[in-house]
């Protein structure tokens, strides 16, 4: 395939940045999207140009760092798929592809397609943990947990913190991310001690980091590569309200 790539280039946080056009030929449909960018960077280096900076790590859809807006959609056109698991067979010969970084005040651009998502780390530090005694691991069956509750907690814990929900939301809301991180503990016995304080503290930090308010339009759920349900937002709202009534 022959493609025309429109890629956001920005030297640093203070640079205004701009879209730059690149032509790429003989792209295999079996390449992943990131492999296609690797090929582009090899071409740029041969031509003496600066390669495009983009985030990646595991390339297995686990780490959440491959965060790109592709033709206006977080992680690209294929649902429930991270950018690194997106393949070029989703595109056609002659396509023009627009590639941008996440767009959110809470995710400032570091360079090109790389953004600073440390705001998520601060939210996690505010309550993404449980208090337990140190020592040997507990026996597997010493805390009975129903399969239903375990499944709900695992569904919430599937969140990889990529930020697609924030990037796709017109208000740059982090409600789905925070809801998932709160709910993975709220549905287990181990998470009950700090349950309501956790919701209150994480929401407070979310607001401090300049994430927007929830639109209730479910763009976050549609963009999530791990299919995190917006139902967890309802659970977060309930816990947050109860936090205001309890100490």
The enclosing domain of 54 has a CATH number of: 3.10.20.30
Total domain count, the chain: 2
**pLDDT tens-digit profile of 37-50?**
999 999 999 999 99
Rounded (5°) CA angle 179-181-185: 105
Encode burial over 21-45: b for 16+ CB neighbours within 10 A, e otherwise.
ebebeebeeebbbbbbbbbbbeeee
pLDDT the model gives residue 139: 74
**pLDDT tens-digit profile of 38-91?**
999 999 999 999 999 999 999 999 999 999 999 999 999 999 999 999 999 999
Domain boundary among 63, 95, 110: 110
Distances (CA, A) of 200 to 8, 123, 208, 236: 37, 11, 12, 9
Question: Do 106 and 181 fall into the same domain?
Answer: no
Of 38-42, 46-50, 94-98, 192-196, minimum mean pLDDT range? 192-196
More confident residue, 13 or 141: 13
Cα(37)–Cα(143) distance, rounded to whole angstroms? 47
Question: Do 103 and 147 fall into the same domain?
Answer: no
Question: Do 10 and 89 fall into the same domain?
Answer: yes
Q: What is the mean pLDDT of residues 183-200?
A: 94
The answer to whether 44 and 52 have CB atoms below 8 angstroms apart is yes
Give the mean pLDDT of the chain. Answer: 95
Q: What pTM does this model have?
A: 0.93
Domain extent for 237 = 117-133+141-243
CATH number at residue 152: 1.10.1060.10
Cα(143)–Cα(162) distance, rounded to whole angstroms? 31
Sign of CA pseudo-dihedral 178, 67, 7, 4: negative
What torsion do the CA atoms of 136, 142, 148, 151 make, to the nearest 10 degrees? 10
Question: Do 125 and 222 fall into the same domain?
Answer: yes
SS3 content of the chain, % helix, strand, coil (to 5): 35, 15, 50
In terms of Cα–Cα distance, which of 110, 109, 99, 108 is closest to 75?
Answer: 99
Question: Do 99 and 180 fall into the same domain?
Answer: no
Question: Do 162 and 211 fall into the same domain?
Answer: yes
């Amino acid at each position: 395939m022959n493609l025309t790539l429109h890629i956001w280039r920005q030297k640093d946080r203070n640079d205004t940045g701009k879209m730059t056009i690149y032509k790429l030929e003989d792209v295999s449909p079996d390449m992943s999207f990131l492999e296609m960018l690797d090929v582009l960077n090899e071409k740029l280096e041969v031509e003496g140009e600066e390669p495009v900076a983009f985030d990646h790590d595991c390339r297995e859809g686990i780490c959440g760092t491959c965060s790109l807006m592709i033709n206006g959609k977080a992680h690209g056109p294929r649902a429930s798929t991270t950018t690194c698991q997106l393949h070029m067979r989703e595109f056609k010969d002659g396509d023009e592809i627009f590639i941008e970084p996440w767009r959110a005040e809470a995710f400032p651009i570091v360079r090109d397609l790389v953004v600073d998502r440390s705001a998520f780390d601060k939210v996690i530090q505010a309550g993404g943990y449980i208090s337990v005694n140190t020592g040997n691991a507990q026996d597997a069956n010493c805390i009975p947990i129903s399969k239903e509750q375990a499944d709900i907690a695992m569904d919430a814990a599937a969140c990889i913190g990529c930020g697609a929900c924030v990037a796709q939301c017109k208000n740059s809301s982090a409600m789905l991310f925070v809801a998932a991180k709160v709910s993975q503990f709220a549905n287990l016995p181990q998470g009950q001690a700090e349950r309501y304080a956790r919701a209150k503290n994480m929401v407070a930090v979310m607001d401090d980091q300049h994430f927007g308010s929830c639109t209730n339009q479910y763009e976050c759920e549609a963009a999530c590569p791990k299919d995190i349900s917006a139902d967890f937002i309802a659970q977060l709202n309930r816990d947050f309200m109860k936090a205001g009534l309890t100490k």
